[in-house]
Amino acid sequence: MFVRRLVAYAIDWYLISFAMNLVLVIAAYQLLGVVFAGMVPLTAFDGGSRLALFCVLVALDVLYFCVLPRYVFKGQTLGKRLLRVRVERASGGDATLACYLRRELLGIVVIEGCFSPLSNYLRNVLLLWVPRDIVQGIVWAGIVVGAVSVGLMVLTAQRRMIHDLVGGTRVVLVERAQGGEGDGHRCDGALEQPELDRDGHPARDQASNR
């Protein structure tokens, strides 16, 4: 589960980073007359443009991490779809849009603050009003919280990171059901169901009654 989530995260991070930077490259050319060959910092733009572009980036983030898995891919981004993992409610069943919004915007972008490129753009916006030293402190705090979040996933039985707790979600493995009946799923660390005999009784119970 850890490796699958890590690879899926890497794929999603690359895709959303590329898309966000493409928006900023186009904006820099249109507004500043400058062509950037690499990553474009949001600080390259003045206050009004910076806020407007940040809103565009938020919309892009919500579209990819909230709308796409909620309404198109049933709990999956492109990365999760490739690695066959999905997000669902902690109690089971499809997560709601509100779950995804809390998970992504509050849990990942704001609280953890180190797993999403949108977190960095948020700090770029904060620089309009907050001293750089304080923003740098927020960066270090995000690294610490992010490390704790990874620790929760690796060391606890539930395998839920901080953003999962905030969103009321969990990440489960998606397994291809036998017989071509579609996809099934299981939660990592879940208890296995006992084997049943032909009459539907647990095999161990039948053996103990002989």
Residues in contact with 57: Cβ distance below 8 Å, sequence separation at least 6, in sequence order: 20, 23, 118, 121
Taking 70 as the threshold, does the pLDDT of residue 206 lie above it?
A: no
208 pLDDT tier (thresholds 50, 70, 90):
very low
Containing domain of residue 133, as a range? 2-188
Other beta carbons less than 10 A from residue 37's beta carbon: 6
In-domain check, residue 210:
no
Residue 27, domain member (yes or no): yes
> Comparing 56-60, 113-117, 130-134, 155-159, which segment has the lowest mean pLDDT?
155-159
Residue 198 lies in a domain: no
What local confidence, expressed as pLDDT, does residue 209 receive? 46
Amino acid at 174: V
Beta-carbon contacts of residue 109 (< 8 Å; ≥ 6 apart): 61, 116, 118, 119, 122
Tell me, yes or no, whether 202 lies in a domain.
no
Residue range 179-196: mean pLDDT, rounded = 47
Pair of tokens at residue 86: 């999905």
145 within domain boundaries: yes
pLDDT band at 138 (very low <50, low <70, confident <90, very high): very high
Task: Please report whether residue 92 resides in a domain.
Answer: yes
- Dihedrals φ, ψ of 126, to 5°? -60, -30
Our count of domains for the chain comes to 1
Tell whether 209 is covered by a domain: no
Q: Is 193 part of any domain?
A: no
Confidence of residue 180 (pLDDT cuts 50, 70, 90): very low
Q: For position 196, what pLDDT does the model report?
A: 55
Distances (CA, A) of 131 to 2, 15, 86, 181: 37, 31, 39, 57
pLDDT surpasses 80 at 176: no
Place of tokens 């740098």: 136
